Amino acid sequence: MWAFQDKGGRDVCLIPEATGLVQELWRDKWKALGKPMKIFYVSRCYRYERPQAGRYREFTQFGVEYLGGNAPEDRAECLELLSKCLDAYGVQYTLNDAVKRGLSYYTEEGFEAECVQLGAQKQIAGGGRYAEGVGWAIGVDRLLLAK
């Protein structure tokens, strides 16, 4: 992660992904509204590592999150929506709905969409179930490479 101090000496971190922020908002604010939510977002995100083909330090993430609902039905609907988005874009992909995701907040196996023509950086979308809900994100920059 990009972590540093600003000119005022405050600790700052550029977000590496948006799902963690969505989870925090749900727990701290939205859950009190007493009803499930379905949201989407577009966010600039950042990686602190050496850039590679299809893996940039700054990238755009488009995400969808289903919060506070019914886990099995929401997961199925979420996967269907991911497929519809990728199909509408016209990209060739495979969907693996049983993968171990590298982020600790996932509570069960996740899912990933891959475009094999991208080589080593073939994952264009990923997501799964976490305590607050279920969601996924598409790496927009990588998706553009797959077209």
CA–CA dist 62, 125 (Å, integer): 9
Provide the whole-model pTM: 0.88
**What residue ranges define each of the domains in the chain, with the CATH number in brackets?**
2-146 (3.30.930.10)
Task: Name 108's Cβ contacts closer than 8 Å, sequence gap at least 6.
Answer: 128, 129
Encode pLDDT of 37-94 as tens digits. 999 999 999 988 888 888 889 999 999 999 999 878 999 999 999 999 999 999 999 9
Return the pLDDT at 106. Answer: 84
Residue 125 · residue 139 · CB < 8 Å: yes
Number of H helices, E strands in the chain: 3, 8
